[in-house]
Amino acid sequence: MSDDDRSYLVVLNDEEQYSIWWSDRALPAGWRAEGTEGTREQCLSRINELWTDMRPKSLRLRMDGASV
């Protein structure tokens, strides 16, 4: 269990790569909020549910196009 009582956001970039960010800070350039806010553990759990394919979006699209 963590002593971290801060609130976090789940964030993602244009390549659909996920991370967490402090909810009381401005988002870094190139990142947007996914919609989940909570403890560090809650946000990491949400990322675990969402991010099932670790490849960047551009690579997934390129590979999907190559298989057509």
The pLDDT tens digits for 38-62 are 999 999 999 999 999 999 999 999 9
Q: Is the pLDDT of residue 3 over 90?
A: no
Query: What is the C-alpha separation between 46 and 62, in angstroms, rounded?
Result: 27
Q: What does the pLDDT read at residue 1? A: 47
* Domains, the chain: 8-66 (3.90.820.10)
Residues 6+ apart with CB under 8 A from 32: 11, 12, 13
Q: Is 31 exposed, middle or buried (0-12, 13-18, 19+ CB in 10 A)?
A: middle
pLDDT band at 23 (very low <50, low <70, confident <90, very high): very high
Q: What is the mean pLDDT of residues 10-25?
A: 97
pTM > 0.75: yes or no: yes
Whose structure tokens read 């244009």?
14
- Looking at the DSSP assignment, which residues form a beta bridge with residue 21? 9
Residues 6+ apart with CB under 8 A from 65: none
